Chain A
Amino acid sequence: MTLVFGLITGTLFGVFLQQAEAIRFERQVGAMRLIDMTIVKYMLTTIVVGSIGIYLLRDLGVVEFAPRALSLGLQVIGGLVFGAGWAIIGYCPGTSIGALAEGRVGVVWPILGMLLGGIIFAFIYPAVQQYIAPIGAFGRLSVADVLGVSHWVVIAFLAVGSIALFKFFEKKGL
């Protein structure tokens, strides 16, 4: 059943990503060149609605979750390395599959590159764990924990901040 849920969820996600045009090279690189904010609008809306939904579920006692563990070394270095690669290929792992499916066949090269990266990572994994992971390791912290406020305060700020950003983008035609 888990597999069926995965397929159904992925299919709907693929439809939404394609309709929002978030899987296009031009939209992704456009965001990084600061000339087209489509993917930022899409992502932030998803995050705001998603955070309200999952925290509502948690407050109702339906689900439990904890954020991924924080390691400044892993997230800062890994994040920057990902960003550099992302700008070069113009796709992220999930969108690359969607792009292939809408006929952008040139994405096979970035996909091959990412598979290659998966193998390279296997070899550097012990060194990453030994030298980078311990840098600034703080465990599973949420922004609400760190600030010592209710998660709804953080979500409200996220929502208001996102809407302000959206107004700015629309005004500037980004």
Chain B
Amino acid sequence: MKFEAHHKPYIFGALSGLLLTLSVAVAGQFFGTSTTFPRAASGLVQLLGVDMSQIEFYTVGNGTNTLASFPNWQLLFVIGIGVGAFISAKLSGTFKVEKLPPMWVSRFGDSTRTRILFSLVGGSLAMIGARMAGGCPSGHGVSGVSQLGLSSLIALAMFFVGGIVTARVLYKGGAA
């Protein structure tokens, strides 16, 4: 079979599935990334000198949602994603410095201020939603659905329902 560009998502998807299997077998770790964000954010708040140590979210699970849990498997996994993507992009000549995504610019223009505003609101919603649902597309989507978890299947379906409806509103009538 000839290797063609449109086979890529399948080939690298299959490799990712094997990688998940290996990770579970060797390290006992399923993929997940989103908890690293509130953990890192708690550190940023500390840097600003705000004491939030009494907040329930930071006291549950012996501080599993705080900087105290670093370094852990997931932090290194998230850093690794950056390392791997960088190496892969450089080696394949697809590394490109891009200030704003072209699809975004063709719909909303090239104003950085607009993108920042939308990003802060959208990023907040994404992280609040992920932590509420108990995972993101890697934790719930890939790891959870691979375990055939009903909660993960529902979460993944809702990610797409929320995403499709919102994308429809955002890009309605806009240039592709």
Contact = CB atoms under 8 A, between A and B. Distances in A.
Interface of A: 2-26, 29-35, 38-39, 41-57, 62-63, 65-72, 74-90, 92-95, 97-106, 109-126, 128, 132, 138, 140-146, 151, 154-155, 158, 166, 170
B18 A49 contact: yes
B104 to A, nearest CB: 7
A121 B118 CA distance: 18
A65 B65 contact: no
B64 interface: no
A103 B89 contact: yes
B119 A75 contact: no
A84 B123 CA distance: 10
Given A89-B126, A92-B137, A15 B99 contact: no
Contacts of B157: 79
Contacts of A84: 122, 125, 129, 162-163, 165-166
Interface in B136-176: 136-138, 140-168, 170-171, 176
A3 B124 contact: no
A31 B159 CA distance: 12
Contacts of B164: 32-34, 83, 87
Contacts of B72: 2-3, 6
A11 B150 contact: no
B30 A65 contact: yes
B79 A7 contact: yes
A121 B136 contact: no
B2 interface: no
B125 A117 contact: yes
Contacts of B135: 68
A55 to B, nearest CB: 8
B50 to A, nearest CB: 9
B49 interface: no
24 contacts: A9-B19, A13-B31, A18-B89, A20-B11, A20-B12, A39-B9, A46-B142, A53-B17, A78-B129, A78-B134, A78-B158, A79-B155, A85-B127, A88-B125, A93-B37, A93-B127, A93-B130, A97-B78, A102-B86, A102-B88, A102-B95, A110-B123, A116-B123, A125-B57
A9 B22 CA distance: 9
Interface in B1-55: 6, 8-31, 33-34, 36-42, 44-45, 52, 55
Q: Range of interface residues on chain B?
A: 35 or more
A113 B89 CA distance: 25
B99 A46 contact: no
B63 interface: no
B65 A122 contact: yes
B9 A42 contact: yes
Contacts of B42: 118-119, 122
Contacts of A45: 9-10, 13-14, 16-17
A62 to B, nearest CB: 6
A76 B38 CA distance: 21
A158 B118 CA distance: 36
B16 to A, nearest CB: 4
B167 to A, nearest CB: 4
A76 B158 contact: yes
